[in-house]
Amino acid sequence: MDLKSHKKVVCFLSLFTFIMLACNGLIPLPSEQTPTPLPADDSGWKVTTPLPPDAAGIDGVKTYGDRPEYHDHVDVVQAPADNIPPPYGAHYSAWQNCGFYDQPIELGNGLHSLEHGAVWLTYSPDLSESQIANLQGLVRGHEYVLMSPYPDQPAPVVLTAWGVQLIVDSLPDDRIGRFIAYYENGPQNPEPGAPCSGAIGEPLP
C-alpha cells in the first residue's frame, strides 16, 4: 500500500471511530454541550452562566451581558455617576438581607443580593408616603426582593436584577409587579439556591 492510500485509510478509520463514539454518547456533540460554569465564589455557591433574560415581554427592560469579573468580591465599590444602581458588578462578600429599608443600603451589599437572584427596587426619597406604601404592597411577601431609597435617583423607581433593569418614570406602573414576578429568582439568576437572608441588614417588618 502506498503512502497516499495509507493516509486515506487512517483518516477513514478515525472518522468512523469518532462517529461510533458520538452515537453511543461517549463524545458530546457541540449542540449537546452545556455552557462552562464560572468558578464557585468564596461562599461556596456555584456561579452558573445566566440564561438570556429576554423573554419577559416587558416594555423598557434593558438587558446586559455577564462576565466573570462581575462576580469578584472586593473591598471598595464605586457608585455610578448617573445615580442609578448598576445591574451587575464586583461587590462586597456579604449580601443584603432582602426586605424593606427606609434608609439607603450599601451598593456593594445590594449587588451581591442581585447575584443571589434578588430584585432590587430603589425609589426616590422624594416619593410621598402613600406612593412608598403602595410600592411596599407590591413587594410584600416576596423573599427575594430588596426595597430601599436611593439618593439622588433621577427616576421615581428603578427595578434592577442581575443583568436587567427597568427605569420607571411615573407611578403607578403595572410593569413593576410584572418585573418582580418574572425576575425574582428568574432565568438571569447566576447563583440559583443562594440565600437572601442571614447576612447584612435588618429589614423593616
For residues 115 and 175, membership in a common domain is answered with yes
Q: Tell me, what's the pLDDT at 3?
A: 46
137 located within any domain: yes
Which has more pLDDT, 202 or 19? Answer: 202
120 located within any domain: yes
pLDDT, tens digit, 9 for 90 and up, residues 97-131? 999 999 999 999 999 999 999 999 999 999 999 99
Q: Tell me, what's the pLDDT at 149?
A: 98
Least confident of 40-49, 64-73, 155-164, 173-182: 40-49
> What is the DSSP track for 137-202?
HHHTT-TTEEEEE-TT-SSSEEEEETTEEEEE-SS--THHHHHHHHHTT-TT-SSTT--SSSSB--
pLDDT, tens digit, 9 for 90 and up, residues 144-171? 999 999 999 999 999 999 999 999 999 9
For residues 26 and 67, membership in a common domain is answered with no
Contact predicate 198/96, CB 8 Å = no
How far the first Cα of the chain sits from its last, in Å, is 85
pLDDT confidence band for 10 (50 / 70 / 90): very low
Residue with cell 465599590: 77
Q: How far apart are CA 132 and CA 134, in angstroms?
A: 5
| Domain span including residue 14 | 3-32
196 located within any domain: no
Count of domains forming the chain: 2
pLDDT, tens digit, 9 for 90 and up, residues 165-180? 999 999 999 999 999 9
For residues 24 and 116, membership in a common domain is answered with no
Average pLDDT, the chain: 82
The continuous run of DSSP H or E covering 121 comes out as strand 119-123
Q: Is the peptide bond before 156 cis (omega within 30 degrees of 0)?
A: no
Q: Tell me, what's the pLDDT at 56?
A: 83
Q: How far apart are CA 204 and CA 194, in angstroms?
A: 22
Query: Residue 41's CB: how many other CB atoms inside 10 A?
Result: 18
Which has more pLDDT, 172 or 23? Answer: 172
